[in-house]
């Protein structure tokens, strides 16, 4: 009788990513530079946070950037995402600090000399203190102030930048500043939130136009926080409607406000999966507290859900734009968890690429442990561990796993054993097999 058993489906080949794929990590200026004294965040920290949760000197990258970029190259990255600090460059309204601009030229030049592709963010949450005192993003004039800033820095920096991010996570800035009100300006007001979102969208459009005036072939986008949503009951029309509404109002609203023609690529920051449930109590479905499900979470309580990054990439494929994962990472003091996180999320990105989406790069959050806004220093996101007393930098094992992936431009099968592949079930169960 012929052998009709089908061949095994389990493949042992490397999961290859496209040629030229960008592999890197991300930082933001306020979170790594230190002594950002002219910003609204620095001022807010002094009155709203205990001293041990204030940014202070952070990891002092303002002075140690060469050391950090040497580490970037040693662990194999071919790209890096970072931001410049508006409040350093324009510490007083209309007065630009030439020394600060020259500093950022040195920073970006260092990256280019090391052969790294540079993704530069122009606004990453923080504002000049003078701007905050003038109403911040509620002020109708703020997009014009931002336009003036962009006009000043782009011609000075354009030769060192490959990819431009105008604004990091505008929806998070609005949510945390004006809805949840746990960040500056800490103003819980829906009208203010609407004004801020509208002005952020105007600022992006102005910045997009300015960058293209100076650099006609520039690649410009935003880094947008996106979430995946799942209904508990897929036969529930109310839950399905809420899933659609949450996706539109959070993931896609900023693109609707700005128009797809002001985005040359989609920068996606992915951290959150949300479940939706209609219990019958009340009139509308609700977001489920992750504590209810007892799902695996990070040290910050964010669900670890690798399938979600596949879902959001496929959702955004409708825009027919190149995609970069501009942030994705895990807050954990257990680096073994970070290794599993990295492999499982990159596998899902691989599957999205195989499904036809033009994903062109991945930037892990974060390069190193840093200041995590109102959460202070306790969340550990870094591929590189930082001793905050000595500021010594030490690459974690996850950094070297990532290096193996980069060197292979893909996930070699032997690394999948770190997810449980090639583990003998009998050895795990430790059962007596003699019976």
Q: What is the pLDDT of residues 81-114, one digit of tens each?
A: 999 999 999 999 999 999 999 999 999 999 999 9
Phi and psi, residue 389, nearest 5°: -80, -45
Taking alpha carbons only, the member of 286, 323, 331, 327 closest to residue 304 is 331
Q: How are beta strands 286-287 and 266-277 bridged, if at all?
A: antiparallel
Q: Is the pLDDT of residue 432 over 70?
A: no
The pLDDT value recorded for residue 281 is 82
Is 70 exceeded by the pLDDT of residue 425?
Answer: no
Supply the pLDDT for residue 428: 63
Please pick, among 45, 169, 239, 327, the residue that the annotation labels catalytic. Answer: 327
3-state secondary structure of 377: coil
Helical H runs in 115-189? 129-133, 142-157, 170-174
Average pLDDT rounded to a whole number, residues 264-292? 94
Give the lowest-confidence range in 3-12, 182-191, 319-328.
3-12
Across the chain, mean pLDDT equals 95
- The domain segmentation of the chain, as residue ranges, is 15-226+255-277+296-429
Summarize the confidence of residues 244-248 as an average pLDDT: 97
Mean pLDDT of 146-173: 98
Q: Say if residue 77's pLDDT is above 60.
A: yes
pLDDT band, very low/low/confident/very high, at 6 (cuts 50, 70, 90): confident
pLDDT-derived band at 430, boundaries 50, 70, 90: low
285 has pLDDT over 70: yes
With 70 as the cut, is the pLDDT of residue 434 above it? no
Are 86 and 123 contacting, i.e. CB atoms less than 8 angstroms apart?
yes
Model-wide pTM > 0.85: yes
Residues of the chain above pLDDT 90, percent:
92
CA distances from 146 to 37, 127, 128, 191 (A): 19, 10, 11, 21
Residue 1: per-residue pLDDT: 55
Highest mean pLDDT among 6-15, 23-32, 421-430: 23-32
**Of the candidate ranges 205-219, 306-320, 410-424, the one whose mean pLDDT is the lowest:** 410-424
Measure the CA angle with vertex 249, ends 288 and 164; round to 5°.
Answer: 115
Question: What pLDDT sits at residue 282?
Answer: 80
Is pLDDT of 187 > 60?
A: yes
Mean pLDDT of the region 131-158: 98
327 is catalytic: yes
> Which of these, 124, 107, 125, lies nearest to 116 by C-alpha position?
107
pLDDT of the residue at 431: 52
Residue 399 has pLDDT above 50, yes or no: yes
Lowest mean pLDDT of 12-16, 320-324, 348-352, 368-372, name the range: 12-16
Q: For the domain bounded by 15-226+255-277+296-429, which CATH number is listed?
A: 3.20.20.80
């Amino acid at each position: 009788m012929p052998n009709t058993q089908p061949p095994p489906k389990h493949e042992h080949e490397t999961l290859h990513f496209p040629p030229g794929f960008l592999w890197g990590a991300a930082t933001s200026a306020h979170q790594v530079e230190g002594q950002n004294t002219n910003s609204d965040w620095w001022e807010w920290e002094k009155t709203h946070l205990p001293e041990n949760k204030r940014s202070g000197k952070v990891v002092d990258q303002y002075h140690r950037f060469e050391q950090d970029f040497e580490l970037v190259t040693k662990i194999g990255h071919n790209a890096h995402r970072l931001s410049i600090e508006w409040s350093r460059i324009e510490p007083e309204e209309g007065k630009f600090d030439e020394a600060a601009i020259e500093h950022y030229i040195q920073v970006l030049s260092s990256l280019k000399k090391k052969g790294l592709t540079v993704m530069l963010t122009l606004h990453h949450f923080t504002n000049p203190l003078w701007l905050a005192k003038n109403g911040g993003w509620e002020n109708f004039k703020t997009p014009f102030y931002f336009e003036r800033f962009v006009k000043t820095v782009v011609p000075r920096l354009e030769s060192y930048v490959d990819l431009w991010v105008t604004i990091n996570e505008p929806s998070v800035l609005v949510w945390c500043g004006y809805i949840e009100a746990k960040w500056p300006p800490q103003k819980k007001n829906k009208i203010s939130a609407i004004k801020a979102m509208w002005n952020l969208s105007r600022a992006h459009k102005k910045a997009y136009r300015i960058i293209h005036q100076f650099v006609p072939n520039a690649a410009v986008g935003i880094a947008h926080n996106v979430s995946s949503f799942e209904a508990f009951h897929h036969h529930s029309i109310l839950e399905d409607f809420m899933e659609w509404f949450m996706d539109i109002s959070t993931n896609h609203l900023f693109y609707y406000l700005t128009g797809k023609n002001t985005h040359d690529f989609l920068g996606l920051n992915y951290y959150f999966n949300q479940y939706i449930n209609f219990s019958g109590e009340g009139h509308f479905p609700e977001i489920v507290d992750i504590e209810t499900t007892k799902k695996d979470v990070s040290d910050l309580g964010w669900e670890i859900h690798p399938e979600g990054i596949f879902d959001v990439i496929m959702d955004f494929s409708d825009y027919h734009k190149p995609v970069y994962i501009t942030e994705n990472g895990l807050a954990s003091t257990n680096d073994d968890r970070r290794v599993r996180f990295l492999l499982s999320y990159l596998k899902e990105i691989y599957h999205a690429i195989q499904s036809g989406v033009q994903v062109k790069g991945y930037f892990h959050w974060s390069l190193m442990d840093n200041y995590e806004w109102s959460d202070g220093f306790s969340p550990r996101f870094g591929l590189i561990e930082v001793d905050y007393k000595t500021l010594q930098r030490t690459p974690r094992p996850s950094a070297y796993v990532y290096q193996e992936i980069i060197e292979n431009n893909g996930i070699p099968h032997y690394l999948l054993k770190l997810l449980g592949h090639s583990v003998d079930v009998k050895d795990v169960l430790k059962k007596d097999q003699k019976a």
